[in-house]
Structure formats: C-alpha cells, structure tokens
Amino acid sequence: MKKLISINPTTQEVVHSYQVHSSEEIAFILSQAEEAQKFWASSTISFRNSCLEQLSGVLKDKAREYAKLMALEMGKPLDQGVLEVEKCAWLCDYYREYGEEFLMDKPVETENTKSFISIEPLGLVLGVMPWNFPFWQVFRFALPAITAGNGAILKHASNVQGCAAAIKTCFKEAGYPDNIFHNLVIPGNQVKQIIEHKAISAVTITGSTPAGKAVAAAAGTVLKKTVLELGGSDPYVILDDANLDQAVAACVAGRLLNAGQSCIAAKRLIVTKKNENQFITRLEKELNRKVLGDPMDEVDMGPMVSIAARNQVHDQVQSSIASGASLKMGGIIPNEIGAYYPITLLTDVKPGMVAFDEEIFGPVFAIVTAENEDHTIELANWSEFGLGAAVFTADLKRGEEIARKKIRAGSCFVNDFVKSDPRLPFGGVKNSGYGRELSIYGMMEFVNVKTIVVNKV
C-alpha cells in the first residue's frame, strides 16, 4: 500500500513514513466521527470549556516537544515553533472566554410572541491544511468548529503527518470525546472523494489558489459550505513620511518568519522614490545580520520545506532577473546538504515580472519603486491577490483612511506587519479566497444560523 513520506529538509533524511488509510479505514473513521459529533453536539458549553482549558495546558506543557517535531518535518526554527504552539494555546483560551457568548441564542424583537436566532453545528468539517504552520493552521479551523459542536476531520499535508498525529493526541489528552478530531492519512488526489462523502457537511482549505478552486468546485457539486484561505502577494506601502527604521523592522519580521513561507509574508515592498535609496540601504544592513542555519540551533531562518520548493523559488528569482530586476543580495543556491536558500533582495521590480505578479513562497524581498504616494496604492492593488497589506506613515489618520478605503485586502495594518490574531477575523478577497477564520466570524462560518419564531395558540 502507498505511504506518505516525511523528509527532514535540513538533512534530507527520511523522518518517518505513514501508511495511507484504505477505503475501508476511511469509511470506519468517518462513521466513528459522525457518532462522536452527535454526542458532542448535545454536550454543555461548560464541558466544552473544560476541554478547551485542558487542551491549552497540554499545548503549553509540550510546546518545546512539538517545536522539535516541526523543525524535523518542515524546518521551522525552534523558537518560532514554540511561539506557534503557544499561539494555539492562546486560541484555546480565547474561545473558552468568548465561545459561550458567541453561541448564545439572540432574541429579536418582532410582532411575534417570541423570535430568536439559534446557533447549531453543521456536522463534520473537513480541513485541508498545509505544512507551513502545521499546528496553527489546524487549530485555527478546528477549535472554533469543534467548540460550536462540530467534529473536525483533518487532511494534513503529506510531509507533516507526525504533527497531525500529535494534534490528535492533544485532543485525546485534553478529554475530548474519541474521534471528535481525526486525521485522514491520504494523498491530495483523494480529497475530492472525502468532500463528496455524505458524512462531510463543510470544507475549509488553506493552500494555493489552484488547490482552493479545486476544493470549491468539488464542494459546489454537492452543495457544501466552503471557506478558502489561499495565496497572497502582500504589498507593504512605505509612504514619504514613514519611519524607515520601523518600516524596515516590520518588513524583515513579516518576510523572514518561517523562511518567507507564509501566505501573509511581506512580498512586495512598495517604496516612494523619496525613500527608495535610504530604505534599501537600511534593509540590506538589517538583512546581513540574520543567521541562516539548522533549525535546531538559535537561528533566524532554517531551510525551506523541500529541495523542490527551494528550486521553485530560485527559478522565480532567476525569471525576475531575466525580466529586468536587479539582484542586490542572495539569489545563489548554497553548495550544501539541505533545502537552504539565502535571503534574497531584488530591486527594480515592476508589474509583469514574476516577483511582482506571482507569490514567491520563500525569503525573497521584492522592492518596487513608486513615482509618488498615489502610485504606491495603485501598485498595491495591481495584483490578483488580496490577503494582507500594510501601510507605513507618520500620519495615522491618513494611514487608517488608506487601509480602510483604498487597499483591497482582507487585512490591512498601519505601521506593523500583517499577522493573525484570535480576536480578529482572518481571510482574503479576490484570488486569496473567501470566508473568515478566527474571532466570532470564524466560528459562525460552520454553523446553522437558525431562525425560531413562536406564537400563542
């Protein structure tokens, strides 16, 4: 039978192999999950909150252990892995504090004797999740869905099946019912048949735009709700009056996290002519301080997830240079074992080049020069993507106005890099997808918002 293989991106050694579930095993898992969800849907919110509290504790206690697993399977530096797991614990704490309020009946004044809105779960939610944040992405969909009374079925990326198994153990140790969360060990080409299975009520995916389109198409044929969190080419607009040190720090943090392998990484740095030279000089100085190396050591950046991913990024860099972009630093594949790619800085990037038009999923900084401030906004919106964006300016009122009304994105930060937060909705527009995760809005994606009307006899 087929196996999924996890390869250590640092050493290129096989970490582990995982037997793919058979059709019979899949049917059994989904049947078990259906039964577990029916019991869970009738449970009290106090019981669910006690599970959330215990889950938070498990995550905090094992943060270092799980960070090492992430480093082994996909190359994330240990410190970043610990922060990822702790963020998952924060998510538990958030829904434990606010979940009951979000799920309460909401009375509505009408001419009827009684009218109210009731929130009820849909059933089993399938999550098709990526490798880049192997804990956070899973908890981001699963926690609000499960807290609302649903069950969660995970199809995790093939190379992080160890993380998937660890997450399943987390739920078990926290006292959740058996099978309320389950991971299917299957390749991507089997996702369509899982979506079509009668046990699945809704689907969410975090991944590329083509993958999102395929999931949406499959779900559409069987009329199942979808949430798509897809790619991004986030613009960071640096205006004339920006604090350049602040802007540089935010761009570096927003791009180098996870070796640039993030949908909300700072991908297009759009700078006015007034600031171009100073910004590039300061950025280059800051980048030269960063340490690339083994993710088990104290480094700023580990390897990319795989040799194939590294080579794809390199091809995109070379294509951009061939189209007229200038290489200021990096851009050369190291002659060593591991999927390492150096921090790379491209200038003179323009629309029509790969570094502008496509998502580069790696540690590549693309500097785009704008004629003036209006031009920065035009360039920011000149993209098929609309996930995140950032604006840097000393004029907070103007920055807010630009973020609110002029840049098309699901999130826009003023004087900071884009990040997800349990308290705030997360998602995109255009080819970055639709629907929202986190906050009350993420919880409401996978429920039936039910109208109840009662009148006297």
**Tens digits of per-residue pLDDT, 59-96?**
999 999 999 999 999 999 999 999 999 999 999 999 99
Specify whether 284 is located in the same domain as 358: yes
Q: Which candidate in 92, 163, 170, 229 is catalytic? A: 229
Q: First vs last Cα of the chain: how many Å apart?
A: 63
Please write the tens of the pLDDT for every residue from 283-313.
999 999 999 999 999 999 999 999 999 999 9
Q: Is the entire prediction scored with pTM above 0.85?
A: yes
| Residue 183 belongs to domain with CATH number | 3.40.605.10
Whether 255 is covered by a domain: the verdict is: yes
In a shared domain, residues 221 and 364: no
Q: Is residue 118 part of a domain?
A: yes
Query: What pLDDT score does 370 carry?
Result: 98
Note whether 396 and 446 are same-domain residues.
no
Overall domain count for the chain? 2
Give yes or no: residues 214 and 240 share one domain: no
Are 184 and 243 part of one and the same domain?
no
Shared domain for 258 and 147, answered yes or no, is no
Contact predicate 380/270, CB 8 Å: yes
The CATH number assigned to the domain holding 365 equals 3.40.309.10
Does one domain contain both 318 and 449?
no
Looking at the fold, whether 277 and 130 belong to one and the same domain comes out as no
Q: What is the tens place of the pLDDT at every residue in 383-438?
A: 999 999 999 999 999 999 999 999 999 999 999 999 999 999 999 999 999 999 99
Task: Tell me, yes or no, whether 17 lies in a domain.
Answer: yes
Residue with structure tokens 């609309």?
386
Same-domain pairing of 314 and 405? yes
DSSP state of 315: H
**212, 224: one domain:** yes
Q: What percent of the chain has pLDDT over 90?
A: 100
| Same domain (yes/no): 178, 311 | no
Domain encompassing residue 241: 234-421
- Neighbouring CB atoms inside 10 A of 326's CB total 12
Q: What is the pLDDT of residue 271?
A: 98
In a domain, residue 427? The reply is no
Catalytic residue list contains 263 = yes
- Give the residue from 421, 405, 372 showing the smallest Cα distance to 237: 372
Query: Is residue 426 situated within a structural domain?
Result: no
Q: Annotated catalytic, 229?
A: yes
Burial degree of 197 (CB within 10 A; 0-12, 13-18, 19+):
middle
Which of 84, 263, 359, 437 is an active site residue? 263
Give the model's pLDDT for residue 124: 98
Do 447 and 388 lie in one domain? The reply is no
Is residue 19 assigned to a domain?
yes
Residue 1 has pLDDT above 90, yes or no: no
